[in-house]
Amino acid sequence: MKRRQFLSRTIGASALSLYRIPVIQAGSNSSSISDKIRQWKGNPIKIGDRKQLFIDKKFIAASHGVELITNPPLSTRQIEMPLLNGMASSGGYSTVLDVEGEYWFYYHARPEHSSQKGHQAYMLCLSKSEDGIHWRPAEVNRFKVDGSQRNNIVAPGAIGTVFIDPKKTLDSRYWFLGTLGEREEPPIWEAAKDTYYRRYYKEGHAYHEGGIYLLHSTDGMAWNRLPDVALPLWCDTQNQCLYDQRIDKYVAYLRGNNPAGMKKRRNVRRIEVDRLDKAPWPYDENPNRKRGPNGLFGNLIDELPEVMGANGLDPDATDIYTPCVNPYPWADDAYFAFPAVYRHYDGQNSYGRDLRGKYSNHGPVEVQLAVSRNGIEFTRFRRPYLASGLLDEDKGGGDVYMGVGMIKRGNFVYHYFHEDTFPHGPTTYPYRESFSSKGMEVAIHRLDGFVSIDAGPSGGELVTPPIQFEGNRLNLNIDCGAMGEAWVEIQDAHARPISGYSFNESVSVDRNGIAQEVWWQKGPDVSELAGQPIRLHVKMRSAKLFAFQFIKS
């Protein structure tokens, strides 16, 4: 198709379809959609000069020949996380923070020699870096392991997520939410006294109980415990809390469970609170559930609303294992979650091929991408964001768990994940000792690049709903590669091209850039349209469009 032919298709004449995820169906209801757009009444979306992402249908009123696509990281790279004084790597739960330009990385290690079983052997450690690749242990030196106190352990027996509290509750900038377990052997931590990661007890039947705790710190290294349990419910693995600036609340994402007997077991549940230090947090207590001897409940089931769970689009026996939710501070109203999704083998029979079905709670885990505008309703893409590596390699091929946190450097976002050679399962596997852990890796991503609206070589187009902007230039984060181009028309709210900004007057954007200025024959200035309700109509060929932003140049 020649450029002129491509551009000559206008919204009035073209067969625009309703936008659907994930498949665009071209040609359906074209006239009614056109009429609907033309007869629009209402209020435009006020976007100001903030960046807007194409992660869902929010900015797509109509489209044809384009599709929402998730994009894997540009590259991954193994990193060496320091381990000191008889410590071994332990698990894939981690958090990265940007502290005044320095990378802070919280991760877990465990003593090489310990009779302490389970998660109470996990030691929360801290390392720091200037470049996100090379790390040095923080000089914490508080807990003695293997006869030495020179190590970077900050919280023995703690599994969870560290986050920054901009309100500095209790004068503490750093907070931690997670499970905590008092240890029976050194290093003993006074702050963990009388806490229970998961305590089993019998009252006729076997039960367990546990809780979610909060720690706080002024420097991120010396931690104190908030005396009261934040939630008297047991939530396994990496739970997290964050300050959500959009709603000015603290939000926690916690491991939830479906009732026993369901094939899809684990899910993610959410709570939001105004204050960190007013514990316990509010939850919908089930009067029929009994507390354990320490006043705590067993699994979190339906005391909080579910926000992420497996459904009919997933294989049987699939769970959402960890949430890893990140508000995206570099654009408007965007949350990215990287849940670990776990397909368990329970009940399978491989007829001697492999170990599937021989153990309970055994199976592979991958990281998927879920997007949200409010941190509550998530759309999860089934294409893996980080798939497990190859079997039979020295390292990799088993579980993959994403850590919490993203750091922006230039045009790239850094975040971290952990990969094992073995699938999820009990630590007592007879073969597990022969496997190694690939350890931590960094995933480097294009800024705003997690999801894009893509057009192939045959071309595609989209029209936004009416928007109202501030500024005098329009920038696109777009990758047209070598073969692609994109043209932008500005329309009024009723989809009529505005003179000077029509397709026939537009100058194409090409190549690959984070902030590519949009031009028309008269130039790039759009200041005369600021404050008016307008629509963007974008035509593209062989292009990936990630975001748009009106700016003041």
CA-to-CA distance for 402 and 341, rounded, in angstroms?
11
What does the CA dihedral 523, 528, 531, 536 come to, rounded to 10 degrees?
-40
Does the footprint of another protein cover residue 2 (CB under 8 A)? Answer: yes
Does the footprint of another protein cover residue 517 (CB under 8 A)? Answer: yes
What's the closest the beta carbon of residue 421 comes to another protein, in angstroms? 11
CA-to-CA distance for 504 and 441, rounded, in angstroms?
47
Nearest to 401 by CA among 386, 418, 413, 416: 418
Window contacting another protein (CB under 8 A); options: 53-61, 189-197, 254-262, 514-522 = 514-522
Does the footprint of another protein cover residue 419 (CB under 8 A)? Answer: no
Window contacting another protein (CB under 8 A); options: 232-240, 258-266, 388-396, 495-503 = 388-396
Name which position in 363, 405, 439, 533 contacts another protein (CB under 8 A). Answer: 363
Does the footprint of another protein cover residue 507 (CB under 8 A)? Answer: yes
Per DSSP, 393 falls in state S
Residues 364 to 383: which contact another protein by CB under 8 A?
364-366, 382-383
Name which position in 48, 86, 186, 384 contacts another protein (CB under 8 A). Answer: 384
Strand order in the sheet with 174-180: 158-164, 174-180, 213-217, 224-225
Name which position in 169, 318, 326, 468 contacts another protein (CB under 8 A). Answer: 318
Q: Which lies closer to another protein via its Cβ, residue 26 or residue 188?
A: 26
Window contacting another protein (CB under 8 A); options: 130-138, 173-181, 339-347, 461-469 = 339-347
**What is the full DSSP assignment across 466-497?**
PEEE-SSEEEEEEE-TTT-EEEEEEEETTSPB
Does the footprint of another protein cover residue 441 (CB under 8 A)? Answer: no
The pair of three-digit structure tokens given for residue 455, joined into one six-digit string: 């057009």
Per DSSP, 31 falls in state H
The pair of three-digit structure tokens given for residue 7, joined into one six-digit string: 């551009």
Start-to-end C-alpha separation, the chain: 35
Does the footprint of another protein cover residue 131 (CB under 8 A)? Answer: no
Q: How many residues bind another protein (CB under 8 A)?
A: 60
Window contacting another protein (CB under 8 A); options: 52-60, 247-255, 287-295, 451-459 = 451-459
What's the closest the beta carbon of residue 267 comes to another protein, in angstroms? 16
The pair of three-digit structure tokens given for residue 163, joined into one six-digit string: 């986050």
Burial class (CB in 10 A: 0-12, 13-18, 19+), 433: exposed
Name which position in 356, 415, 535, 539 contacts another protein (CB under 8 A). Answer: 356
What's the closest the beta carbon of residue 487 comes to another protein, in angstroms? 12
Window contacting another protein (CB under 8 A); options: 48-56, 105-113, 281-289, 517-525 = 517-525
Window contacting another protein (CB under 8 A); options: 105-113, 243-251, 510-518, 545-553 = 510-518
The phi-psi region of residue 397 (left if phi > 0; otherwise alpha if psi is between -120 and 50; otherwise beta) is left
Name which position in 42, 274, 351, 433 contacts another protein (CB under 8 A). Answer: 351
What's the closest the beta carbon of residue 317 comes to another protein, in angstroms? 11
Site string for another protein, 15-54 (x = CB under 8 A): ----------------------------------------
Are 54 and 70 a contacting pair, CB within 8 Å? Answer: no
Nearest to 239 by CA among 216, 261, 211, 265: 211
Are 319 and 344 a contacting pair, CB within 8 Å? Answer: yes
Does the footprint of another protein cover residue 457 (CB under 8 A)? Answer: yes
Does the footprint of another protein cover residue 499 (CB under 8 A)? Answer: no
Residues 52 to 81: which contact another protein by CB under 8 A?
74-75
Nearest to 123 by CA among 112, 137, 110, 114: 110
Window contacting another protein (CB under 8 A); options: 8-16, 197-205, 280-288, 361-369 = 361-369
Does the footprint of another protein cover residue 357 (CB under 8 A)? Answer: no
CA-to-CA distance for 93 and 371, rounded, in angstroms?
21
Upstream peptide bond of 364 is cis (omega within 30 degrees of 0): no
CA-to-CA distance for 465 and 44, rounded, in angstroms?
7
What does the CA dihedral 498, 499, 501, 506 come to, rounded to 10 degrees?
140
Does the footprint of another protein cover residue 313 (CB under 8 A)? Answer: yes
Name which position in 118, 167, 483, 496 contacts another protein (CB under 8 A). Answer: 483
For 235, phi then psi, to 5°, come to: -130, 115
Name which position in 47, 62, 212, 341 contacts another protein (CB under 8 A). Answer: 341
What's the closest the beta carbon of residue 23 comes to another protein, in angstroms? 10
Does the footprint of another protein cover residue 450 (CB under 8 A)? Answer: no
Does the footprint of another protein cover residue 452 (CB under 8 A)? Answer: no
Please give the distance of CA 459 from its chain centroid, rounded to a whole number.
Answer: 31
CA-to-CA distance for 453 and 38, rounded, in angstroms?
23
Quick count: other Cβ atoms within 10 Å of Cβ 404?
28
Does the footprint of another protein cover residue 190 (CB under 8 A)? Answer: no
Does the footprint of another protein cover residue 500 (CB under 8 A)? Answer: no
Angle at 271 between CA 118 and CA 385, to 5 degrees: 65
Does the footprint of another protein cover residue 343 (CB under 8 A)? Answer: yes
- The binding site for another protein (CB under 8 A) comprises 2-3, 74-75, 313-315, 318, 341-343, 350-353, 356, 363-366, 382-384, 387-393, 397, 400, 411, 423, 446, 456-458, 479, 481-485, 507, 510-514, 516-517, 519-524, 541-542
